[in-house]
A and B are shown apart, each in its own frame.
Chain A
Amino acid sequence: MVPPPHKAETELLDHSDSLPGAIKPVVPQSHTESKPIALDLSHHLSIESKIRQKSLLKVSSSYLARDPELLSLAAGLPSPSLFPIEKITASVPIAKHESARNGLWKDDGLLPGTRRDLHKEKDSSLKGHSEYDLSGALQYEQGTGSKQLLKFLKRHTEIVHNPPYRDWDCIMTGGNTHAMETVFRMLINPGDYIVLEEFAFPETVEGLKPLRARMVGIDMDAEGMRSDSLEQLLETWDEAARGGKRPGVLYTVPTGQNPTGATMSVQRRSEIYNICVKYDLVIIEDDPYYFLQMSDYIPGADPGVVQVPKTNDEFLTTLLPSMLSMDTQGRVLRLDSFSKVAAPGLRCGWITGSDGFVERVLRHNEVGLQFPSGVSMAVLHSMLTEAWGQDGYLDWLVNLRAEYTSRRNAIVSAMDKFLPREVCDWVIPSAGMFVWIRVDYTKHPHKDNGIEAVERELFEAGIENKVLILPGTWFKVNPEARDVFFRATFASVSAKDMAVAIKRFGEVLRKGFALQI
């Protein structure tokens, strides 16, 4: 049947504990022992998640693990000799930390001399070339994803976030959209309330509605979700009036939030975390833009000139602490992804959380995604572990950071130049891909038509003037709009085109608000 790997069958592959690539605890024992154990938060699991059982078929794997002589006609795995792909070669950049100053890219491509060809063959591991060969990558895999790649990701997570409790783990996903669906189904029963930022990625909202989750959007300011509003909501929660119990889940994009571009300060993160502790909420920290944090914007400076951290250690200190890094209780499920730092088409990410939650995700993966594409994992494994290493990956991220900083600088300087400040304002983003422009609709001649009508009028005038910039109401979680907003991205087009687009949007605003041109 289905590509069957029976869990049964996937489980039967699990000899990997004895292989060199097997995951060993990455934290030295002495270090972990001082950390607390995660709280038991299993009361947060949905009915669907609680019901999931480990397959009977898995019992077989324990026999195979115990007795390597045992001959198995049990697992229905196709023979790798029949896989029609003998070898894969990927050409990838080798980033140097220093190149972040000068750029790694030219004319929509990498500079010559910065690339290296990486190979995976069916039997690389037999030849001693790789711990993870193509025969393995193209075969059924466990629901955790490749152990060898996961080992790298766990070490990376430890270097960057160092979760302050002992029993945390990582599991691979098909990217954060898939991870989001997984954790929503794991934590939410129909009718449950969930707390989000007042503006969110529409796929998040559209994912939650069919699950009959009830969403409450919390007010945002320049730093994202307001902790005072959150506390007030939870403190004054009236079950009878709301027709449901207090929310048990908080979903947030703390860094470079989509669509607002807002980034929470350390203080804000800590406040939100503590409120969730106080009211017993599980936190879904969806953080795909984490490594798109930027250096400060300097008005009037050349947008292309970017401050670059001198070393990777310095780079790590510039990063805001994640909620995971504050989580002494195991109540954060952190969603990480390669989509923004490598490519969306990899469809590959990972969840970090307590063993208890990660095990539930594993049971879900086994009957859904199974595991990310073996081709994606093979290429990532080659690139991250064989070509780059932990340090080389940070070098790549430093390069990316410089690119995004210079793009952010370009759009903000265009906005300074072309947008009429008398009717709009914005917060300069310090992370992510988006800038969020608030437009003062009360000054618009048609303000009496309402917020949404003014917004639509401006959006349509934008299309007319050949600029596409997205209306804020497309992102609202609560039914009522409270202001006119537009989301612009600085990720997708050249600095020159960004300036053209912003200039056109400036014209739309001036015309719409009947300002002097």
Chain B
Amino acid sequence: MATNGTANSAKALPKAKDLWHHLSPEAVARRPSPLKTAFKYAIDPRIVSLGGGLPLPAYFPFETISATAPDAPFTLYNDPEHSATAPIVEVEVDRYNRNQEPGMIPLATAMQYGQSDGCKPLLQWISEHTEAVHHPPYSNWGCLMTVGNTQGWDAALRLLTSRGDTILAEEYTFSSAMEAAHAQGVRPVPVKVDLEGILADKLDEQLTNWQGPKPKLLYTIPTGQNPTGGTLSKERRKAVYDVLSKHDIMIVEDEPYYFLQMDAYVPGASETKLPSPPTAEQDSEKYGNFLSKLITSYVSLDVDGRVLRLDSFSKVMAPGTRLGWIVAQEPFIERLTRQNEVSIQTPAGFSQAIVYSLLSKWGHNGYLDWLIEMRKEYTHRRNVCLDALDKFFVQPSPHAAKGLTDVVEWKEPSAGMFFWLKLDARKHPLYGQLSPLQLEKRIYEAAIEHGILFIPGSWFRADQDPVDETVQPADDEEVSVFFRGTFATVPQDKLIEGVKLFAEVIAKEFLG
């Protein structure tokens, strides 16, 4: 991590492969602005610069900005009301930081035109965090700030693809990401998945038999996938990586839910409070244990330097920070910096300054404490959801005397915000008269009629090409329709009520 890191271990690692041939013509054509070259002169204190057109920081109408945040030990889970006794931390950022307070990016810097890869101190912090969590296995990796993963993905597409190209994506995926590709004239081709994620052997087969120019990249959400909630195991990630390395295809791993990984589900768990994690004094292994429980990311398997990892504060802090970052090999980071210079420039200074101050006050371990708390919170939400699924879909109930397990199947999510219900279309009384897509629509509308909104799975299909509805699958073929729900957003009672309402709809539709 030559740009922003200092890890000694990095020295022993090899450099990334030269993958310049993957760049789009647009990305290759980017040049630095000559104005940036002028900055090197402005560093000489004897030079008076009438060069850069920077407004004077004295004219920024902001003297200070401060924020109040929770502090470790966090009590989010045990004290959701956030009572007056909960520890808090105050961060204040002033115009010039004349007192040289550590851990502050003064507004005169943060709110000025700046370096397009992000504010240096924050970038440094993020590099250290990335090294601690992912240890990318090559030496010349770097980070660049984005305004979140939606923009990070837009930047990755512009970096690697051109009109007419194809890309790979999970069969069901975040539809907005596919719409971004679509507008750029880039065609997504679905990759076969099971409830955990990508099937590496199918992927290999698909690429081996590929006709025409190979796809430019794989877009994947390996952890807590949107919409399926699936999380791919380490072994399967390794297999997918090897297939893509063999076929020389880039990987964009979109990982906003990475730190929303959960502990294993135990039925009935939502009834009992989760134990408080030990303090650092009680358990010196706490942080190591937390980190070791996290699933291996693609970037930590990336010996070639073919992974662009999209990371974000949206799910672990707040979407409104519009703050994320990309981890990739330096030649790509340099091209992305050029791209930032003529588009977003940088993320907002207030966001960078406040988040940096907060992270500095918390420290790396304090941030891990926060993430440990988030893990607990999401584990609990997921437990409530799975207990409700068990109660209303598995157990006998007034609406379904034998439960609904013949009809509905799901995999327990171990990360993210979503659960994905797989319905066996063949069990529906109107199967044969209505196509699976028509059945899906019927169930969706019946649910709305019944007062509950879930999103139909077909809306997330990577390829939105028209489906031939006249073709009926063979009798022995599995025919599924899917619905996505989230356990992240609504309070516990609403979540349980929502699952119950949906179970009633399914019972009525399938059992009559």
Q: Say if A and B assemble together.
A: yes
Q: A208's closest neighbor in chain B, by CB? A: B342
Residue ID in chain A nearest B154 by CB atoms = A368
CB distance from B276 to the nearest CB of A (A): 17
Which of B123-131, B142-150, B288-296 has 4 or more CB atoms under 8 Å from chain A?
B142-150
* Known contacts A7-B176, A71-B498; A77/B488 CB under 8 A: yes
Look across to chain B and name the residue whose beta carbon is closest to the beta carbon of A180. B342
- Cβ of A249: which chain B residues have Cβ within 8 Å of it? none
The 0/1 profile, CB within 8 Å of B marked 1, for residues 478-502 of chain A is 0000000000111111000110111
Interface status of B67 (Cβ within 8 A of chain A): yes
| Chain B minimum-CB-distance residue to A116 | B63
Interface of B is mostly: mixed
Interface centre among B51, B76, B150, B484 (most CB of A within 10 A): B150
* A-B residue pair count with CB separations less than 8 angstroms: 428
**Could you give, for residues 298-338 of chain B, a 1 whenever the CB lies within 8 Å of some chain A CB and a 0 otherwise?**
00000000000010101101111111100000000000001
Alpha-carbon distance A121/B148, docked complex (angstroms): 23
Residues of A within 8 A of B452 (CB): 70-73
Chain B neighbourhood of A5, CB < 8 A:
150, 176, 319
In the complex, per-residue mask of B471-503: 1 if CB is within 8 Å of any chain A CB, else 0: 000000000000011111110001101110110
- Separation in Å of the B181 CB from the closest CB of chain A? 9
For A73, give its contact among B29, B152, B225, B495 (CB under 8 Å).
Answer: B495
| Contact residues on B (Cβ < 8 Å of other chain), bracket | 35 or more
Residue pair A375, B351 in contact (C-beta under 8 Å)? yes
Q: A207 to B455: give the CA distance in the assembly, Å.
A: 38
- A287 contacts B by Cβ under 8 Å: no
Q: A105-B59, A371-B322 are in contact. Are A70 and B451 (CB under 8 A)?
A: yes
Q: Which of B147, B152, B418 has the most CB of A within 10 A?
A: B147
Contact A3-B417, Cβ < 8 Å, known A71-B497, A72-B490, A347-B347: no
Q: Which residues of A contact B48 (CB under 8 A)?
A: 466-468, 493, 497-498, 500-501, 504
Interface string of A62-73 (1 = CB under 8 A from B): 011001011111
Spell out A's residues near B (CB within 8 Å): 1-8, 47-49, 51-53, 55-57, 60, 63-64, 67, 69-93, 105, 108-110, 115, 137-141, 174-175, 177-178, 180-181, 202-203, 206-207, 209-212, 258, 339-340, 342-348, 363-364, 366-379, 383, 396, 400, 403, 411, 433-434, 463, 466-470, 474, 488-493, 497-498, 500-502, 504-505
Other CB < 8 Å A-B pairs besides A140-B314, A210-B25, A373-B351, 15 of them? A1-B226, A3-B314, A48-B183, A55-B176, A71-B490, A76-B489, A77-B488, A81-B76, A85-B318, A181-B343, A210-B26, A367-B150, A372-B348, A374-B351, A377-B320
Residues in B lying within 8 Å of A, measured CB to CB:
25-27, 29-35, 38, 41-42, 44, 46-70, 76, 80, 82, 88, 95-96, 107, 110-114, 147-154, 163, 173-177, 179-180, 182-185, 221, 225-226, 254, 256-257, 310, 312, 314-315, 317-324, 338, 341-352, 354, 358, 370, 374, 377, 417-418, 448, 451-455, 459, 484-490, 494-495, 497-499, 501-502
Closest 7 CB pairs of A and B: A374-B320, A345-B349, A345-B111, A373-B348, A2-B149, A3-B314, A138-B320
